[in-house]
């Protein structure tokens, strides 16, 4: 099955455009549609979704990487009406048409799907005035399908909408969505879509609503109060889980932005091995500077201690005692000097004291004014400090040393036993080795600065700092998220227990109990379905990734029933290495292709921005993969992705090309022009 044609009228930037594509055969299965950003590539992909799935398309745009600003069906349609659409008969019309064809045992069959939406004169959507026309193609002519059989034909030709994001997607955005939500979470949702589990989830929600309503009508007041309390706790836990998940997603998004910036800087600095040098040498140089400073300190200490090391042990002990006593005397005299000025203060207080004057009587002024009296007081003050205490040295032999110097030499003497003389030599050798390493790092740094990229190095350093901080924050949030998930599950289990208890206590609640049992069966069924398919998806993804990737870093991809993915190297051990943006894109593209293959649908691929952030080797790997497929592959590309030169390389596999260009309108919109059999020059 392939897309034979697409027609767009008054849809976003297309006022009236038509694309037609030949049957993919003889190795020519690739359609190349070139357009600059904002000229209509993504619009074409949205048109495919809306024409095939109508309302259901809106909920799947995000899964396909199409993050529309409008998430509600009426708002999306209102925003999609072409800026300069012309009204007819007092209203505006917007329509999309897709024709699908397949060669069924030599007979050409097909289905044409046309949807039309109408707006009043004020461009307000007439929600109940939408139209869908379906025609079948057989034996060279079209026949309209009866209204009661439209759904049957749509189901036969169109992919189940849960499968659509595996075939119709934005190559760059779907990788970002997977990284933002976590590859495991994205893969879990994708696997549920593959298995139709989303339909079972809807059934579970319906059963839950039914059971809640039935219990509230028949349970006793006490039981209902307990259940209400547990449900409030569950709702609180669910809200906290959502807040934690949003914060985690926000940090993950910031981490993705900085990772992309780091990858871009890496490419500007040469890519490959340069990134390791650029990323590590600054930290390495700082580490070496610190180590050299520490070695210099040790050598300095050793040099200080070296003269002491040549003294006999007896002399060292005498020197240590002498220095200790000299230090005590210096401290003693320093204390005396600190309070020397207090002598005059004491004398002033003494001569002015009334009791002293009363004792001395009329001779007080004569005695106190006598210089000999003041000298006698000072002499008495001096005797408070002399003779010296026993622990103080009587003679200062090392009067050139300060108190701190005495203490430092004492410490060096104490360290002599742990620092033999030959240690100085080893310290110098180690310091010299570190100096050589620092010299090499400095040469690399100078070489990099010589390329006028020193500013990029600083930006790269900042990017690495931000990534390290965000990675740490992400780890903490991941732990909080796990805690909130456990808390949510605990209250969920409690609510289920109370519901079962209420149902078992009242024969009238037999239907509620049965609904609970059906819910449990659905849970077990979902688990078994996941177990059956994850192995197959992992094997197919491994095969595709090996074929596309230009390195052998990932030898095997394994997926568990919860959608958690593990990567293994050739040694059979799980690897936890960080993948570059390009390697991550190849991994996600491999998983998407694997999911598509496992569906067993021979449906066409429509891929927007297929090659962003990929190097030449990875691009060639993807081209080999796409050109080897039997089905049609429509690539919506910018000129920087699939250049004119690359287009010439792909020539043997291209069945048709288009170039889409847009003209700006006075209304701030655009009008896209489509040129067949043309591409960027």
pLDDT at 185: 65
Residue 33: CA count within 13 A, CB half-sphere: 27
Beta strands (DSSP E) in 145-184 are 168-170
pLDDT range class, residue 300, cuts 50, 70, 90: low
* Separation CA 482–CA 475 (nearest Å): 11
What average pLDDT does range 310-315 have in this prediction? 51
Residue 382: CA count within 13 A, CB half-sphere: 6
* Separation CA 578–CA 467 (nearest Å): 12
Residues 6+ apart with CB under 8 A from 420: none
Nearest to 407 by CA among 417, 398, 394: 398
List helix spans (H) across 450-558.
454-505, 510-548
* Separation CA 591–CA 178 (nearest Å): 11
Q: For residue 224, is pLDDT > 60?
A: yes
pLDDT at 610: 86
Instruction: Count CB-CB contacts under 10 A for residue 333.
Output: 14
C-alpha distances out from residue 630 to 236, 349, 505, 603, Å: 51, 112, 60, 10
Using only the alpha carbons of the chain, give its radius of gyration. Answer: 42
Q: What is the pTM of this model?
A: 0.59
Contact 134, 145 (CB under 8 A): yes
DSSP 651: G
Contact 80, 95 (CB under 8 A): no
* Separation CA 76–CA 553 (nearest Å): 43
pLDDT at 273: 40
Nearest to 463 by CA among 180, 259, 252: 259
Nearest to 519 by CA among 194, 234, 211, 233: 211
pLDDT at 665: 84
Strand 2-11 relative to strand 14-20, pairing: antiparallel
**Both structure tokens of 72:** 């509600």
pLDDT at 304: 54
Return the domain boundaries, the chain: 297-422
C-alpha distances out from residue 556 to 94, 146, 533, 623, Å: 48, 50, 16, 22
Mean pLDDT, rounded, of the chain = 78
DSSP conformation letters of 540-576: HHHHHHHHH-SS-S--EEEE-TTS-EEEE-TTSSEE-
pLDDT at 407: 63
Residues 6+ apart with CB under 8 A from 616: none
* Separation CA 116–CA 111 (nearest Å): 17
DSSP conformation letters of 125-151: B-TT--EEEEEEEETTEEEEPPGGGHH
Lowest-pLDDT choice from 338-342, 355-359, 448-452 = 448-452
Sole residue written with tokens 């949807």? 115
Q: For residue 329, is pLDDT > 50?
A: yes
* Separation CA 54–CA 37 (nearest Å): 25
Contact 654, 32 (CB under 8 A): yes
More confident residue, 14 or 163: 14
The Cα diameter of the chain in Å comes to 148
pLDDT range class, residue 259, cuts 50, 70, 90: confident
Contact 557, 538 (CB under 8 A): yes
Rounded to 10 degrees, the C-alpha dihedral 439/440/442/448 comes to 160
**Vertex 445, ends 440 and 447: CA angle to 5°?**
95
Q: Point out which residues pair with 675 in neighbouring strands.
A: 659
Contact 155, 131 (CB under 8 A): no
Q: For residue 594, is pLDDT > 80?
A: yes
**Vertex 456, ends 450 and 462: CA angle to 5°?**
135
* Separation CA 673–CA 3 (nearest Å): 20
* Separation CA 14–CA 261 (nearest Å): 34
What average pLDDT does range 312-328 have in this prediction? 67
**Both structure tokens of 414:** 């104490």
pLDDT at 73: 85
Q: For residue 580, is pLDDT > 80?
A: no
* Separation CA 77–CA 367 (nearest Å): 114
pLDDT range class, residue 523, cuts 50, 70, 90: confident
Sole residue written with tokens 């609640």? 509
Please return the burial class of 378, using the count of CB atoms within 10 Å of its CB with bins 0-12, 13-18 and 19+.
middle
From edge to edge, which strands make up the β-sheet containing 168-170?
Answer: 168-170, 605-608, 633-637, 30-35, 654-664, 670-676
Residues 6+ apart with CB under 8 A from 175: 65, 581, 584, 585, 588, 589
pLDDT at 418: 47
Nearest to 192 by CA among 165, 232, 217: 165
Alpha-carbon dihedral sign for residues 360, 363, 364, 368: negative
271's enclosing H/E stretch is: none
Q: For residue 248, is pLDDT > 80?
A: yes
- 167-196 confidence digits (pLDDT tens): 888 888 777 766 655 555 667 777 777 766
pLDDT at 70: 53
DSSP 81: B
Contact 495, 234 (CB under 8 A): yes
SS3 of residue 24 by DSSP: coil
User: How are the residues of the chain apportioned to helix, strand and coil, as percentages rounded to the nearest 5?
Assistant: 60, 15, 25
């Amino acid at each position: 099955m392939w897309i034979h044609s697409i027609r767009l009228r008054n849809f976003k930037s297309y006022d009236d455009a038509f694309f037609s594509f030949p049957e993919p055969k003889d190795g020519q299965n690739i359609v190349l549609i070139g357009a600059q950003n904002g000229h209509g590539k993504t619009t074409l992909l949205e048109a495919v979704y809306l024409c095939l799935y109508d309302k259901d398309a809106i909920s799947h745009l995000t899964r396909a990487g199409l993050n529309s600003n409008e998430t509600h069906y009426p708002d999306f349609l209102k925003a999609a009406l072409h800026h300069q659409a012309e009204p007819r008969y007092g209203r505006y019309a917007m329509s999309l048409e897709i024709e699908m064809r397949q060669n069924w045992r030599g007979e050409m069959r097909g289905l044409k799907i046309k949807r039309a939406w109408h707006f009043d004169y004020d461009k307000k959507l007439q929600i109940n005035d939408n139209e869908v026309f379906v025609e079948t193609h057989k034996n060279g002519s079209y026949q309209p399908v009866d209204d009661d059989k439209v759904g049957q034909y749509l189901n036969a030709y169109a992919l189940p909408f849960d499968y659509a994001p595996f075939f119709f997607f934005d190559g760059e955005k779907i990788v970002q969505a997977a990284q933002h939500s976590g590859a495991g979470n994205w893969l879990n949702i994708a696997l549920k879509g593959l298995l139709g589990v989303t339909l079972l989830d809807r059934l579970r929600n319906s059963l839950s609503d039914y059971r809640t309503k039935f219990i509230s009508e028949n349970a006793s007041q006490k039981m209902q109060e307990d259940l209400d309390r547990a449900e409030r706790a569950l709702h609180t836990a669910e809200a906290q889980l959502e807040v934690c998940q949003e914060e985690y997603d926000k940090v993950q998004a910031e981490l993705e932005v900085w990772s992309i910036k780091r990858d871009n800087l890496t490419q500007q600095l040469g890519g490959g091995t340069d990134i390791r040098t650029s990323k590590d040498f600054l930290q390495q140089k700082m580490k070496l500077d610190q180590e050299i400073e520490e070695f210099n300190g040790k050598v300095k200490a050793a040099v200080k201690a070296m003269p002491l090391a040549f003294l006999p042990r007896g002399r060292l002990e005498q020197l240590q005692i002498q220095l200790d006593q000299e230090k005590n005397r210096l401290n003693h005299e320093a204390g005396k000097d600190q309070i020397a000025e207090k002598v005059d203060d004491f004398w002033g207080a003494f001569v002015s004291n009334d009791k002293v004057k009363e004792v001395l009587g009329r001779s007080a002024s004569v005695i106190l004014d006598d210089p000999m009296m003041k000298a006698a007081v000072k002499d008495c003050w001096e005797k408070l400090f002399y003779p010296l205490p026993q622990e103080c040295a009587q003679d200062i032999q090392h009067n050139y040393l300060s108190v701190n110097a005495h203490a430092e030499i004492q410490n060096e003497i104490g360290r002599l036993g742990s620092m033999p003389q030959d240690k100085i030599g080893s310290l110098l050798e180690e310091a010299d080795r570190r100096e050589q390493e620092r010299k090499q790092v400095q040469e690399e740094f100078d070489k990099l600065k010589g390329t006028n990229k020193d500013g990029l190095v600083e930006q790269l350093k900042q990017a690495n700092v931000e990534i390290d901080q965000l990675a740490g924050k992400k780890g903490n949030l991941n732990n909080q998220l796990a805690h909130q998930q456990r808390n949510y599950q605990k209250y969920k289990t409690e609510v289920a227990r109370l519901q079962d208890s209420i149902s078992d206590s009242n024969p009238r609640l037999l239907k509620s109990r049965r609904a609970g049992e059906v819910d449990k069966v659905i849970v077990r069924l979902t688990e078994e379905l996941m177990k059956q398919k994850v192995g197959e998806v992992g094997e197919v993804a491994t095969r595709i990734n090996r074929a596309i990737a230009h390195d052998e870093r990932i030898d095997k991809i394994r997926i568990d029933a919860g959608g958690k993915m593990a990567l293994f190297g050739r040694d059979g051990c799980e690897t936890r290495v960080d993948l570059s943006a390009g390697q991550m894109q190849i991994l996600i593209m491999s998983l998407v292709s694997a999911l598509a293959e496992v569906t067993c649908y021979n449906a066409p691929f429509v891929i927007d921005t297929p090659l962003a952030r990929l190097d030449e080797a990875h691009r060639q790997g993807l081209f080999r993969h796409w050109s080897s497929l039997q089905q049609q592959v429509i690539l919506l590309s910018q000129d920087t992705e699939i250049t004119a030169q690359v287009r010439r390389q792909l020539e043997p596999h291209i069945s048709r090309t288009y170039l889409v260009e847009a003209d700006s309108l006075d209304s701030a919109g655009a009008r896209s022009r489509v040129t067949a059999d043309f591409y960027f020059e």
